[in-house]
Amino acid sequence: MRRASIPCLFGFTLVPLLPVTVASQEAIVVTATRFPERALDAPAGMRVISARDIQASPATSLPEVLITLGGLHGRNLTGTPDLQLDLRGYGITGDQNLLVLLDGVRMNSEDLSTTPLSAIPLNAIERIEIMPGSGATLYGAGATAGTINIVTRAPALGSRSASLSGLLGSYGTSDLRAGVNAGGELVALSLHASRRASQNYRANNALRQDSVLGDLRLRHGALQAGLKFGSDWQRLRLPGERNERELQSDPRGTSKPEDFSDRDGDLAVLYLRYGTERVELAADLSVRGYDAQARSTSAFGYLFGDFRYRSQVFSPRARFEFDTFGARSSLVAGADLTDSDYRRRTWITYLPAGVPAGANASTQSSRALYLRYSLAFTDALKASLGLRRQRVSDGNSITFFGPLSAGSRDHAVSARELALRYTLPVGLTLYATSGTSFRFATADDNAQTATGNLLDPQTARHFEAGAEYAGSGSRARLALYRTDLEKEIYFSPIVVPFGANTNLSPTRREGVELEAGMRLGPVDASARIARQLARFRSGVYGGTDVSGKDVPLVPRVLAGLRLAWRIADATQVSANVTHVGRQRYDNDQDNRFPASMPAYTLVDLKAGQTRGGWRLSAGINNVFDRKYYSYGIVGNFNCATPVCAYPQAGRTMYVSAERSLQ
C-alpha cells in the first residue's frame, strides 16, 4: 500500500564524500563480509563514515549523517525524523531496496514503514559502511540498491570511560546523550542512551524519542560471547500534507491536528565468536520487534491502526583462510534462518471499539545458504565470487468488512556476484562487478494488489565498473552502473481500477558517480558528482503506455560539497552544501503532469572547539532559510489542489556541549 496515503549518463552532483583519510587503508578494518577484514580486501566502491566524521558533521541524527556524508537522498513523507533513504534512485520504494543492518543484523521490517534509524544514538556508532549495489549474496533480500551496515562501539576490556552530551536548538529541540564503558579482564559492558524532544517546524509535529543500546561481552582467549540489546520509544504527532494554497499561506500549519504515530521497539542479539589464524567461527541469534499505533485522517474519515511485528534470525557462519597454488584465499560460508510475523488491525473511527474494519496477518519463513570465495592472485590482482540460495514461504490474509483474500506462496531465488579488482603501482585501482539480487513483497505490498494474489519476487541484474585512487592526502573514485529489474514491486496509481501494488514490466536504474577528496594544509575538501536515471523500460497500465518514462521521485542530479577547516588544534569549522535536482512528483508515472518538483540547495555550518575537557559546538542548518519540500504528490484524493507536499524546516540553529571522562 502506498506510504503516501498515510501520509547515458553524464551530469554533475556534489554530495559530500567522506572526509579525506591520510592513514593507510591497511589500518582500516571493516565487516562487509560478515567478518572483520582490511578495507583493501572489502568490496570495491565501499564508503566508510567514521565516528570522527560524524562528530565534525552538522548533522544531528543518523538519517542526516547518511544524507550529508554518505551521498544518499532523503525524503520526508509524513513528518517523521526517520527520513526515507534512497540510494541510486528507487523513488518511493527506496527503503525496500536498501538493506540496513545494525552490527550485521537486519533492521528492515515487513511493512512499508521507514527504518527507525533516528532511534540509534549517534554516540554509540563506531563507523558506517555503505556498499552501493552490493550485499545480496551475503545478506539476502532487499539489497538491490545496496547495503548499509551501522557498526556500534564495542565494549573495551580493561578500561572505563563515560561521556555526556547535550544539545539545544530551534523549535524547542533538545537532545541528551550518555555513554559508559566498564571493562574488566574478561567481561566488559557498554551502554548508550539518548533522549530527543522537539516541537519541530510544523504544527502537530511534536516528537519525543528515547533509546538505549547496550553490549555485554565476555572474552577468553580466542572465544568471544556477548549479548547486544536495545529499546526505543517514539511518540510523534503527524502534521499531514499541505496543498498548494496552504504551502504559500501557511506552510507550518496542519489540517490534521489529531493524527499521531507511537512506536515501541526492542532488539536482542546473542552472539558467539571463535577465531584462530586460519579459521573463524561465528553465530548470531537475534530477536527484534515493535508495537505501534497510528491515527490518520483521510477521505474515508478517521483511520486508527495498531501494528505488531516480530522476527527471529539465526545466522551461523565460518571463514577459512588458505592458500590456493600459492595464492592467498578465503572462503566465507553460512546460513540465515529467519521467521517473522506481522499483524495489523484497522478501525474507521477515532476511538477503536468492537470488531476492526480490517485486518492483515502476514508470516514469512526463510532459509538461505551462501558463500563468498576471495582469491588474491597477487598483491595487485584480486577476485571474489558470491553465491546465495534462498527459499521463502509467505502467508498473507486480509479482511475488510469481511474476508477479502488469503493465500500462501513458496519461492526459491538465487543471488550471485563476481568482482575483480586490479591495483596499479601508482595507487589506482580498477574494478568491475556483475551480479543479481532480489526482494520479496512485504505485508503491505501484498495487502493491496489488483488481483488479490500475492506478488512475485522482484529480481535484478547489476553491472558496475569503476576506478579508485588513493594517494598522499587525496582520494577519488569513478563508477558507472546499470541495474535492470524484472517484476519490480511497486504501487502504480494507473493500475485499474483505483491503483494497486503490482509487479511492473521491466525497469532500469543507471548512473555515473565521481567522488574526490583532498587535504590542503588545515583544510579537508571533498565532493561527489553523480547522475542517476530511473525509467520504465516497458509496460502498459490502464491503457497508458509508460515505456521510456521517468520513475517518479528520482532526482537526476544530486550535488554537494564538504569543507572542514582546522583553524587550530582545538578549533574546527565545517560546511556542507547539498543540492537536490528536479524530479517527477509521486503518482506521475505516465509523466503527464506539466511541472516537476522544484530543485533545492541547502547550506549547513558548524563550529566546534575543545576546551578544558569539553567539546563545545554551534551549528546553523539551512543557513539561507530555503523554503523547500523533499516529497510531493499529484492527483491524491486527499488533496484539494493538483499538488500536495510536506514542507521542511527553514533555518535552524543549535548549540551543544560534550564531556568525555576516562
Tens of pLDDT, residue by residue over 396-436, are 888 765 556 677 889 999 999 999 999 998 889 999 999 99
Whether the per-residue pLDDT at 141 is higher than 90: the answer is yes
Whether the per-residue pLDDT at 499 is higher than 90: the answer is no
* Residue 204: predicted pLDDT: 97
Strands 98-102, 146-152: pairing is parallel
Q: How far apart are CA 311 and CA 102, in angstroms?
A: 15
* Residue 494: predicted pLDDT: 84
Task: Dig out the grid coordinates for 599 from the structure.
Answer: 530543485
Read off the pLDDT of each residue in 99-112 and give the average, rounded to a whole number: 89
pLDDT in tens, 74-86: 999 888 889 999 9
Class of domain 13-362+512-528+545-661: mainly beta
* Residue 357: predicted pLDDT: 78
Which letter, b or e, does each residue of 442-473 get, where b requires 16 or more Cβ atoms within 10 Å of its Cβ?
bbbbbbbbbeeebbebbbbebebbbbbebeee
* pLDDT-based confidence at residue 172 (cuts at 50, 70, 90): very high
The number of beta carbons lying within 10 Å of the beta carbon of residue 438 is: 24
* Residue 26: predicted pLDDT: 46
Whether the per-residue pLDDT at 259 is higher than 60: the answer is yes
Length of the chain, in residues: 662
Residue in this structure with the C-alpha cell 553491472, named with its chain if needed:
463
565, β-bridge pairs = 523, 573
- Average pLDDT of the chain? 89
List of residues 6+ apart from 441 with CB closer than 8 A: 394, 454, 455, 456, 457, 458, 489, 501
Read off the pLDDT of each residue in 581-596 and give the average, rounded to a whole number: 95
Read off the pLDDT of each residue in 223-236 and give the average, rounded to a whole number: 96
Backbone region of residue 40 per phi and psi (left: phi > 0; alpha: psi in -120 to 50; beta: other values):
alpha
* Residue 11: predicted pLDDT: 33
Whether the per-residue pLDDT at 24 is higher than 50: the answer is no
pLDDT in tens, 277-313: 899 999 999 999 999 999 988 766 788 899 999 999 9
Q: How far apart are CA 101 and CA 45, in angstroms?
A: 18
H helices of 186-226, in order, are: none
List of residues 6+ apart from 306 with CB closer than 8 A: 291, 292, 293, 344, 345, 352
Q: Are 550 and 587 in contact (CB under 8 A)?
A: no
Preceding omega of 642 cis (within 30 degrees of 0): no
* Residue 55: predicted pLDDT: 87
Q: Are 315 and 335 in contact (CB under 8 A)?
A: yes
For residues 16 and 144, the model is more confident at 144
Question: In the chain, what percentage of residues exceed pLDDT 70?
Answer: 92
Whether the per-residue pLDDT at 8 is higher than 50: the answer is no
Q: How far apart are CA 441 and CA 96, in angstroms?
A: 9
Q: How far is CA 268 from CA 32, 227, 559, in A?
A: 21, 7, 38
3-state DSSP assignment of residue 86? strand
For residues 216 and 17, the model is more confident at 216
Instruction: List the single range of 40-49, 102-111, 476-485 with lowest mean pLDDT.
Output: 40-49
Residue spans per domain, the chain: 13-362+512-528+545-661
Read off the pLDDT of each residue in 442-450 and give the average, rounded to a whole number: 85
CA 174 to chain centre: 24
Q: How far apart are CA 491 and CA 442, in angstroms?
A: 12
Instruction: List the single range of 30-39, 96-105, 375-384, 489-498 with lowest mean pLDDT.
Output: 30-39
* Residue 348: predicted pLDDT: 83
Read off the pLDDT of each residue in 561-569 and give the average, rounded to a whole number: 90
Q: How far apart are CA 239 and CA 256, in angstroms?
A: 6
Whether the per-residue pLDDT at 241 is higher than 80: the answer is yes
Read off the pLDDT of each residue in 565-592 and give the average, rounded to a whole number: 93
pTM summary value: 0.91
* Residue 10: predicted pLDDT: 29
